[in-house]
Structure 1
C-alpha cells in the first residue's frame, strides 16, 4: 500500500530563531499529538527549545498485519511483532520517501541536514534508524527509545558498509 505524500503533524516552535529541527516519530497506533502529550506529561512541560523546532508527525492509517489487517497509524507494516521476523521492506522504504519529503521541507526553510535530529519511540525508533542510516547519514543524529530492529535487518548490512559506523549507546536495564 502506497503511503500518502504528506503527513499531518503537530509542532513545538522554537522560542527564538529556528536553527535546528527534531523529528520525533511515535509508536504504532499512536499519533504526533499523542506522543507530544505523553512527553509533556513526563516532563511537566513541552519538549521546547530556544532554537529547535520539534516536529511530531502522525503516521498514515494503514492495514496492519499483526492486528489482522485492522487499520492503525503505523510507520510500516510487519509480518508479525517478533525480532526474528523478516522486515516488511516495501512499507519501510515507502515511508522513508514520505519522511524524506518532511526532511526536505525543513531544508527548504534553511535548516541544514546536519542540524536535523531524527528519532522515535518503539516503532518510530526503528523507522528513524532506517531513515537515518540507510538514506540520510548526513543528519545530526538518530535516537530510538524502547525500540528494536529485527535480527536480520537490512540495516545491519548497511552499517557494516559505512567507513566510520555510528557509535551506538545502550542503556543498561537497571538504569531505565
Structure 2
C-alpha cells in the first residue's frame, strides 16, 4: 500500500498498465477514452482554474488555493457547507462510479476501476463509453447539485498544489502534506491550519442567519474533522482564533488528525465541552476500503466520543470501498435534513 520505489518509476509503470487496459478493452470491440489524473496519487496531471486565494501558514510556506465551485440552493437558503475533495483532485472532479454490463473488468486487468484507484497510484478515468464498457465520471459538485437538499449552498474549493513527502516531493493537490498513512503518521499542523483557515474564510462571508458546516471525502474528510476540532478548541494549532460557528461536520472515508493528542489539546479549554457536546458529526466508512482502512473511521468515531463529542453518528457499509454509493448519499441527506432542520422546499 505504501510507496517503496521512486514516484516517477511507479508512475511510468502505472501509465503503461493503463494503456494495456485500454488496448484490451478495444480488443473486445469497445471504445474508450482514458485520461490519467493524480487522484490520491503522487501526480496531478491537470489542474483546473486559476488561483482564487492564498493563506500564509508561516514565513516558510504560502498556500495558493485553486478554483472554487459553488452549488447554489434551489430553495430558501438555510445552510452553507464547504465540501472538500480528496488528495490529487479538485473542487469539481472527485468521484468515479463504474457501471459494468457484460464485460468482466478482472479479465482485462483493470486497476480497481470501482472508485478511487489506490492512494498512491494514478487513477484511471474513462470519460467516454460505448458498447459493453460503460463508465461514467461524476463530480462532487454535480453530485451535490442532484441531492434533494434545496436549502443548502455547497462550496467546493480546490486544494493547493504542494509537494507530498510520501511521494518523494512529487506535487499533488492536497489539503496538507502526508508522510505516511498509518496511526503513527505525523500531522502537518501548518498545512492543516492553512486549509482550515481557508475553509473558515469561505464560511465567514455567509449571512449571519445561515447555518455553517464542513464536510469532505478521504483527505477532505480529515480536513473537515480538523476544522471541527479547531472550532471546539476555539483556535488553530498556531494559536490564531477560529472565526466561525460550525453547526455540523461530515466525513466520508476519512480519518481524524490529532487523534492521539486531541484529548490533551481540549483539556481545560473554556467552552470546549459545550461546543463538543452540541456539534453533530456524521462519519461514513466502507468495510471494503483498502485505501483508508475501515479501522481509521471506526477509531476516529471512538476517539471523538471519548473527547466529549456526544453527537457522533458512525455509518458502516459492508461492501463499500473507497468511493461513494447511493445508500451513503441517502443517509447523508436524511442526516443533514434532520440536524439542520431543513424545510425541504425548492
TM bucket (normalised to shorter chain) is 0.7 to 0.9
Q: Deviation of residue 71 (structure 1)?
A: 1.2
CA distance in 2, matches of 1:129, 1:27: 14
Alpha-carbon contact 2:91-2:141 (below 8 Å) kept: no
Partner of 1:92: 192
Q: Max radius of gyration: which structure?
A: 2
CA distance in 2, matches of 1:120, 1:62: 19
Give the alignment of 1:1-176 within 5 angstroms.
Answer: 1-4=61-64, 7-35=66-94, 37-39=138-140, 46-47=146-147, 49-106=149-206, 110-112=207-209, 115-135=211-231, 138-150=245-257, 152-158=259-265, 162-163=272-273, 164=277, 165-166=308-309, 167-174=311-318, 176=320
SS for the counterpart of 2:318 is helix
CA distance in 1, matches of 2:78, 2:230: 25
Comparing 83-92 and 159-168, the one that deviates more: 159-168
Q: What is the Cα-based RMSD across aligned positions, in Å?
A: 2.8
- CA 1:46 to 1:154, structure 2 compared with 1: closer, same or farther past 3 Å? farther
TM-score normalised by structure 2 residue count:
0.44
- CA 1:74 to 1:153, structure 2 compared with 1: closer, same or farther past 3 Å? farther
CA distance in 1, matches of 2:147, 2:80: 12
- CA 1:57 to 1:18, structure 2 compared with 1: closer, same or farther past 3 Å? same
Q: Deviation of residue 35 (structure 1)?
A: 2.9
CA distance in 1, matches of 2:191, 2:197: 10
Deviations 1:113-141 (A, max 9, x none): 6x111110000011001112213583110
Comparing 52-61 and 133-142, the one that deviates more: 133-142
Alpha-carbon contact 1:14-1:52 (below 8 Å) kept: yes
CA distance in 1, matches of 2:201, 2:66: 9
Unpaired runs of 5+ residues, structure 2, are: 1-60, 96-137, 232-241, 278-307, 321-346
CA distance in 1, matches of 2:90, 2:185: 25
Higher relative contact order (CA 8 A, sep 6+): 1
- CA 1:148 to 1:42, structure 2 compared with 1: closer, same or farther past 3 Å? same
TM-score normalised by structure 1 residue count:
0.81
Q: Deviation of residue 27 (structure 1)?
A: 0.7
Alpha-carbon contact 1:48-1:54 (below 8 Å) kept: no
- Aligned pairs, how many? 170
